[in-house]
Amino acid sequence: MDKKRILVTGGAGFIGSNTCESLLNDGHQVVCLDNFITGRRENLDDFASNENFRLIVGDIRNLNDCKEAVKDIDLVLHLAALGSVPRSIADPITTNDINITGTLNMFVAARDANISRFVYAASSSTYGDSESLPKVENVIGKPLSPYAITKYVGELYADVFKRAYDLNCIGLRYFNVFGRRQDPNGAYAAVIPKFAAKLIAHEQPIINGDGSYSRDFTYIENVIQINKLALFTDNEKALNEVYNVAYGESSTLNELYFSMRENLAYFDSDISLLEPVYGPFRDGDIPHSLASISKAKELLNYNPQFSLKSGLKETLNWYWENVVPAK
């Protein structure tokens, strides 16, 4: 494969930093654009000194930053966003500014720089109030949060930029991604790192609702795989489409919790005694989520290798070694 110059926006984030590292390991040149609102400098530590890596500290809300970042770039992987459904409910304006205005800036910058392919992070939140399972790409409901609106608008812009400017795009609807470098701290931390930090600290995690809600949890290595497939596929039919990114299996929050407890009890048997605390259901949450990944398998040759079980084992080993200062 020819070596490419690839811009990763949000490259200091959880998904971004893992993808940057993999692309660098493959010999590509990688430029990371990040403003460190949610990204972390320590996520770059393992490869910041790589001669093929360049960091631009900038903000996608600033069009000039976007234009600077796409100079001499072949491919764009646009991951920069303000995540979290509850955060968007608390602050819809900032979520809109980053996820819609910022994304539009990136589309414009990519168009003006004649970028050959623009791969962008969409979201499973786009399925909204649709109750059909498994989720298939062409059946969506009404959005249930400002975040969901912003991610769907990105898909609409991608479609328009192909039609109006012939910018080739691929959208990736990520489902509940987890793995190393996912931040367990802060009010809007995702469920797996949050549970892990609580359990290791011998604290009882809070489960929103009765634990019956289910999700299609997707290990980071599966996501890295499809990010690269989307960037490099030579299948013309795969372009200008959106794809579910998941493992294709669903687990309840209760199943997740007890699996995590069992894994961590291997390191500390006292953890096996910790029971969860059940709290209220969370605003904007859908009850169940399960992805069909048939489209990605067919058009991108996506073949996820890590189930929740195998991904959790890797992830919790990492948290045990890296996240908790005193054991």
In a domain, 183, yes or no: no
In this structure, is the dihedral angle defined by the CA atoms of residues 246, 102, 285 and 273, taken in order, positive or negative?
positive
User: Residues 6 or more apart from 75 whose CB is under 8 A from it?
Assistant: 4, 5, 6, 7, 115, 116, 117, 118, 119, 231
In a domain, 139, yes or no: yes
Please state the rounded mean pLDDT for residues 122-128: 94
Active site residues: 147
Same domain, 116 and 224: yes
Task: Give the whole-angstrom CA distance, residue 266 versus residue 246.
Answer: 27
What pLDDT does 305 receive?
Answer: 97
What pLDDT does 251 receive?
Answer: 96
pLDDT for 242-278, tens place per residue? 999 999 999 999 999 999 999 999 999 999 999 999 9
What pLDDT does 324 receive?
Answer: 58
What are the structure tokens assigned to 122, written together?
A: 């969409």
In a domain, 185, yes or no: no
In a domain, 88, yes or no: yes
Same domain, 91 and 130: yes
Same domain, 156 and 235: yes
Band of the pLDDT at 325, cuts 50, 70, 90?
A: very low
pLDDT for 202-238, tens place per residue? 999 999 999 999 999 999 999 999 999 999 999 999 9
Residue 70 has pLDDT above 90, yes or no: yes
Please give the residue range of the domain that contains residue 119.
5-178+218-249+293-300
Same domain, 115 and 144: yes
pLDDT for 154-190, tens place per residue? 999 999 999 999 999 999 999 999 999 999 887 778 8
Using an 8 Å Cβ cutoff, are 10 and 107 in contact?
no
In a domain, 12, yes or no: yes
CATH number at 137 reads 3.40.50.720
In a domain, 10, yes or no: yes
Strand-strand pairing, 75-78 and 117-123:
parallel
Band of the pLDDT at 48, cuts 50, 70, 90?
A: very high
Same domain, 195 and 109: no
In a domain, 198, yes or no: yes
Same domain, 138 and 204: no
Same domain, 31 and 81: yes
What pLDDT does 271 receive?
Answer: 96
User: Residues 6 or more apart from 166 whose CB is under 8 A from it?
Assistant: none
Residue 282 has pLDDT above 90, yes or no: no
What pLDDT does 229 receive?
Answer: 98
Please state the rounded mean pLDDT for residues 116-122: 98
In a domain, 84, yes or no: yes
Same domain, 208 and 126: no
Strand-strand pairing, 29-34 and 53-57:
parallel
Same domain, 240 and 317: no
Residue 56 has pLDDT above 50, yes or no: yes
Same domain, 92 and 143: yes
Domain tally, the chain = 2
Report the predicted TM-score, pTM, of the whole model to 2 decimal places.
Answer: 0.95
CATH number at 259 reads 3.90.25.10
Task: Give the whole-angstrom CA distance, residue 154 versus residue 167.
Answer: 14
Same domain, 152 and 207: no
What pLDDT does 287 receive?
Answer: 85
User: Residues 6 or more apart from 244 whose CB is under 8 A from it?
Assistant: 124, 135, 136, 137, 173, 175, 291, 292, 293, 295, 296
Same domain, 142 and 73: yes
Using an 8 Å Cβ cutoff, are 250 and 218 in contact?
no
